[in-house]
Structure 1
Amino acid sequence: MSNNFLISGKPGSGKTTLVTKVVAALDTAGFKAGGFVTEEIKEGSTRVGFAVRDLKGDEAVLAHMNYKGKPRVGKYGVDLNAFEEIALAALRLGRDEADFLVADEIGRMEIKSDTFRATVLEVMNSVLPLLATIPEAGDEFISDLKRRDDIEVYIINTRNRDELEGVIYEAMREKLSC
């Protein structure tokens, strides 16, 4: 049985929304999550960056068009220190306090952090189930994650995103009930 549940899809396909719904449903069933999500930062209708928020509500700017530092992903400067401060702390705390972990997203910006890459592998090798999002395409690290034997990859699109909530919920509930 898979221990790691990965949701993959195009940007804007609903990956974060799906994760949030599955986490809420599992919480209602009595299972506690630990980890983080990323969300768009918008000015009007224009995306200008991304925030990282742990599941307790602490957040920081992960990447922004106005951030001049390195590394850069497309038009965004990525603040690795801010990301690591929120995401890594949330995953480490979650290993001690939660029934399962959430990493939204294991994406191009986030994997610029070598420490995050190592933590992702530690988490995936642990006994705690992981619910994570990954991009459709990525570098070798992302491709290697998709090839692991202990994962289930769900491809989200506009036709199946509502149905996937129940499918992933049931798979994770079954895993968590073992």
Structure 2
Amino acid sequence: MKKKILITSPPGTGKTTAIKKFIDLAKENFKMSGFLTEEIRDKLGKRTGFKILTLDGKIGILADINLKSPYKVGKYGVNIKDIENIAIPSIDADTEVIVIDEIGKMECYSKTFVRKVFSLLDSDKILVGTIKEKGDEIIDKIKSHQDVELIKLTIENRDEIPMMIFERVKKILQGAQKRAI
């Protein structure tokens, strides 16, 4: 059974919502670390950027329309410093399950982040995350890794996906406990 479970879908279909529901199901059962990304909106509801929220409560800026950065995705300047000082330490923890929402173009501007993701892929750790549906060479290489199970999220299946992933992770961990005995 593959230990790296990545949800993919077009933007706005509910990848982050599915990961949040998985976390709610799993937080009482598994030791987890990692991060989520959420939109930042102004008073009028217009999206102005994205923030990083670690599972242990740290907050950073992933990208913002007002951020001056050599790295840009559309109108957003990407904040490499917060990726490296907030997101990466959260996925470098010694926990049963690592959560990454999301492996996308913004995050992959950080070479340190990319190296950490490939290190996780080659490790024995369980990874549950989201990944951009259409990507560049790095995204494609991650998606085609031998230990990655790619789950296509759709409007029809998005309510079942969190429980399905929870059950798979539980099965992987039970198998590991049996082997340890």
Query: Could you state the TM-score of these two structures normalised by the residue count of structure 2?
Result: 0.93
Q: Following TM superposition, where does structure 1 have runs of at least 4 consecutive aligned residues deviating by more than 3 angstroms?
A: none
What's the counterpart of residue 109 of structure 2? 112
Query: Who is 1:63 aligned against?
Result: 63
Corresponding residue of 2:32: 33
Return the alpha-carbon distance in structure 2 between the equivalents of residues 148 and 17 of structure 1.
Answer: 24
Deviations 1:91-112 (A, max 9, x none): 11x2x2x111011111010000
Conserved 8 A contact 2:8-2:15:
yes
| Equivalent position of 2:179 in the other structure | none
Residues 102, 132 of structure 1: 8 Å contact kept: yes
Deviations 1:126-175 (A, max 9, x none): 11100011011001011111111211111112111001122111111111
**Aligned residue among 135, 148, 157 for 2:145:** 148
Q: Does 1:87 align with 2:118?
A: no
**Structure 1: distance between partners of 2:170 and 2:53:** 24
Offset, 1:45:
2.2
Amino acid at match of 2:27: D
Which residue number in structure 2 is paired with residue 8 of structure 1? 8
- Equivalent residue number for residue 41 of structure 2: 42
Any unmatched runs of 5+ in structure 2? 176-181
Distance in 1, matches of 2:98 and 2:60, equals 19
Following superposition, the deviation at residue 71 of structure 1 comes to 0.5
SS at match of 1:162: coil
Paired residues of 1:40 and 1:50 also in contact (CA < 8 A): yes
**Structure 2: distance between partners of 1:126 and 1:163:** 28
Give the letter for the 1:82 counterpart: D
Which position in structure 2 is the counterpart of 1:138?
135
Give the match's secondary structure for 1:177: helix
Kindly indicate whether the alpha-carbon contact (under 8 Å) linking 1:70 and 1:79 is maintained by their aligned counterparts in 2: no
Q: Which amino acid aligns with 1:110?
A: E
Indicate if the aligned counterparts of 2:9 and 2:132 stay in contact, CA closer than 8 A.
yes
- Residue deviations 1:63-110 (CA, integer Å, cap 9, x gap): 000112220111100010112111111111x2x2x1110111110100
Superposition deviation, residue 8 in structure 1: 0.4
The one-letter amino acid of 2:164's match is: V
- Compute the RMSD of aligned alpha carbons: 1.0
TM-score after normalising by structure 1 = 0.94
Work out the percentage of aligned pairs sharing the same amino acid. Answer: 39
Q: How far does the alpha carbon of each residue in 1:3-42 deviate from its partner, in whole angstroms, 9 at most, with x for none?
A: 10000011111111111111221123x2111111111001
What secondary structure, in the 3-state scheme, does the structure 2 residue paired with 1:51 have? strand
Cα distance in 2 for partners of 1:165, 1:105 equals 16
* 1:54 match: 54
